[in-house]
Amino acid sequence: MKRLLATLGAVIAAVGIAAPAQDAQAQGKTLTLCWAAWDPANALVELSKDFTAQSGVNMKFEFVPWPNFADRMLNELNSKGRLCDLLIGDSQWIGGSAENGHYVKLNDFFAREGIKIDDFMPATVAGYASWPKGTPNYWALPAMGDALGWTYRKDWFARPDIQAAFKQRFNRDIAPPKTQAELKDIAEFFQGREIDGKRVYGAAIFTERGSEGITMGVANALHTHGFKYQDPNKPYSMEGFVNSAASVAGLDFYKQLYKCCTPPGYSNSYMQEGLDAFKSGQVALQMNWFAFFPGLHKDPNVGGDRIGFFVNPPGPAGRGSQLGGQGISVVSYSQNRTEALQYIKWFASADVQKKWWSLGGYSCHKAVLEDPNFASTAPFARDFLTAMGEVVDFWAEPSYAQLLLAMQKRIHDFVVADQGTAKQALDLLIQDWTKVFKEDGKI
């Protein structure tokens, strides 16, 4: 690490002292930026044309479909590959990538270039950039803010026959839910209902087992019911927090939502399946990442006035939304580190961040999010801002993959496969996680 940081120091000195020479050398250089293949990546391609025009550095992009993204990129990092100069990696990777030397530490670079990490929303700095958590050690710049939110069929809610039937059943007007309980009421109301001659269903939620789907989905219920990963006063002490009565209630709630209100055969579904169900008119509600909302709003079949958005509603323990999103890092094995750092500096500017939001990316910069007019810039902007103020992330430990696989299994076995009780599932999860942390020397 000392040699790595010494090299970075030399690079930073070159950036600061020999800028004209650097610009000349940059001509003809090409950076490869790696990320997932989705709508925001297309927006970044468009945005990055400005960087090439200003710097003379060409950009290549390696975008990998989400189901394969983690395996592909983590294998690339672990093999010390040189494919990626810049990587927009998931928030959970930050611990392992920092401790294993995959990412360049950016503190000295930020200081020299006048990049202020405080210009970015605190939740995104904590989630996407820092390791160890709670310390001012930065391995990424917040790049793509994201959280789990909800879409709903606004046009269905507006139908007089739907409004009358809902009010008769629940003695209140149908509207975006204000609580988790109201969310379930709405999903149950639409389950199996006929609309325009077509049978529809309540909600598309995450149930996928293979990567991270059901863990991300259940988090929206767990956090709003009172689940905690650990004792806040005793790190890695999980008994009575992961398996508390409140946590059990949250897990039971998610299973009830799955059993009562999802489309038939919806046992292994994640982002794309949710989008498909909503776009095809199968469901009234859809859980998904805010990153997809711009595209949904433009959809010719369900977009425009037909669609509405809402932030994850509170539960008995209050508010909480699962954190998504990523930071952008310089890969330590890059042979173009100087130019990669140049890209980070460019991307960090307020003007670039404003354009990033306008193109469909989710900026984490306060100059964008704290603008008085931000809430009016998109129909989902206000909810996004609310969500980013209440997000909770999964473990970002270096062993996060083992921790994630354990949770995927325990939650899916209970929610989808009907194995055991919620309490038993969470008790077993504590056993799994305790084993991992013991092997890591954390407990």
In a domain, 439, yes or no: no
Q: How far apart are the first and last CA of the chain?
A: 25
What is the domain extent for residue 37?
2-146+324-392
Closest CA to 311 of 391, 372, 194, 254: 391
In a domain, 443, yes or no: no
Question: Which regions of 256-323 does DSSP assign to beta strands (E)?
Answer: 283-289, 307-311, 321-322
Residues 6+ apart with CB under 8 A from 404: 92, 212, 215, 394, 395
Query: Are residue 138 and residue 18 in the same domain, yes or no?
Result: yes
Instruction: Give the integer Cα–Cα distance in Å for 218 and 421.
Output: 15
DSSP state of 313: P
**Cβ atoms of residues 388 and 121 within 8 Å:** yes
Alpha-carbon dihedral angle through residues 41, 221, 130, 43, given to the nearest 10 degrees: 10
Query: Are residue 300 and residue 177 in the same domain, yes or no?
Result: yes
Q: How high is the pLDDT of residue 25?
A: 53
Average pLDDT over residues 93-113: 97
Count of domains forming the chain? 2
Instruction: Give the integer Cα–Cα distance in Å for 266 and 221.
Output: 18
Alpha-carbon dihedral angle through residues 132, 339, 337, 46, given to the nearest 10 degrees: 60
Res 422 pLDDT > 60:
yes
Q: How high is the pLDDT of residue 301?
A: 96
Residues 6+ apart with CB under 8 A from 46: 359
Top-confidence residue, 24 or 66: 66
**Cβ atoms of residues 257 and 205 within 8 Å:** yes
Phi, psi for 89 (deg, rounded to 5): -105, 155
Which of 349, 375, 392 represents a domain boundary (last residue)? Answer: 392
The one-letter code for the residue type at 377 is T
Q: How high is the pLDDT of residue 26?
A: 58
In a domain, 397, yes or no: no
Instruction: Give the integer Cα–Cα distance in Å for 370 and 364.
Output: 10
Which of 305, 322, 339 represents a domain boundary (last residue)? Answer: 322
Average pLDDT over residues 108-116: 98
Query: Are residue 17 and residue 85 in the same domain, yes or no?
Result: yes
Closest CA to 302 of 156, 149, 196: 156
Query: Are residue 181 and residue 32 in the same domain, yes or no?
Result: no
**Cβ atoms of residues 222 and 250 within 8 Å:** yes
Query: Are residue 137 and residue 219 in the same domain, yes or no?
Result: no
Res 442 pLDDT > 90:
yes
Query: Are residue 266 and residue 138 in the same domain, yes or no?
Result: no
Q: Which pLDDT band holds residue 28 (cuts at 50, 70, 90)? A: confident
Report the percent of the chain where pLDDT is more than 90. 93
Closest CA to 10 of 320, 337, 317: 337
Residue 443: count of CB within 10 angstroms of its CB: 15
Res 370 pLDDT > 80:
yes
The one-letter code for the residue type at 28 is G
**Cβ atoms of residues 136 and 111 within 8 Å:** no
Query: Are residue 28 and residue 119 in the same domain, yes or no?
Result: yes
Res 6 pLDDT > 90:
no
Query: Are residue 171 and residue 317 in the same domain, yes or no?
Result: yes
Q: Which pLDDT band holds residue 64 (cuts at 50, 70, 90)? A: very high
Mean pLDDT of the chain: 94
**Cβ atoms of residues 184 and 260 within 8 Å:** yes
Query: Are residue 217 and residue 259 in the same domain, yes or no?
Result: yes
CATH number at residue 129: 3.40.190.10
Q: Which pLDDT band holds residue 429 (cuts at 50, 70, 90)? A: very high
Instruction: Give the integer Cα–Cα distance in Å for 126 and 130.
Output: 5
Predicted confidence (pLDDT) per residue in 256-293, tens digit: 999 999 999 999 999 999 999 999 999 999 999 999 99
Which of 267, 295, 322 represents a domain boundary (last residue)? Answer: 322
Res 30 pLDDT > 80:
yes
Instruction: Give the integer Cα–Cα distance in Å for 294 and 146.
Output: 12
Average pLDDT over residues 125-141: 96
Q: How high is the pLDDT of residue 20?
A: 37
Query: Are residue 364 and residue 380 in the same domain, yes or no?
Result: yes
Q: What are 275's strand-pairing partners?
A: none
Alpha-carbon dihedral angle through residues 125, 128, 131, 134, given to the nearest 10 degrees: 40
* Residue whose pair of structure tokens reads 């479909």 in the numeric block: 65
Predicted confidence (pLDDT) per residue in 51-61, tens digit: 999 999 999 99
In a domain, 338, yes or no: yes
In a domain, 408, yes or no: no
Query: Are residue 161 and residue 211 in the same domain, yes or no?
Result: yes
Q: How many CA atoms lie within 13 A of 328 on its CB side?
A: 24
In a domain, 420, yes or no: no
Residue 303: count of CB within 10 angstroms of its CB: 16
Average pLDDT over residues 103-114: 98
Query: Are residue 275 and residue 310 in the same domain, yes or no?
Result: yes
- Pairing status of strand 141-144 against strand 58-64: unpaired
Q: How high is the pLDDT of residue 4?
A: 33
Distances in whole angstroms, Cα of residue 97 to Cα of each of 34, 407, 438: 15, 21, 20
Instruction: Give the integer Cα–Cα distance in Å for 131 and 107.
Output: 12
Q: Which of 64-68, 190-194, 402-406 has the lowest mean pLDDT?
A: 64-68
Instruction: Give the integer Cα–Cα distance in Å for 154 and 158.
Output: 6
Predicted confidence (pLDDT) per residue in 406-417, tens digit: 999 999 999 999
Tokens of 134: 């709670």
Q: How high is the pLDDT of residue 67?
A: 87
Average pLDDT over residues 101-128: 97
Res 17 pLDDT > 60:
no
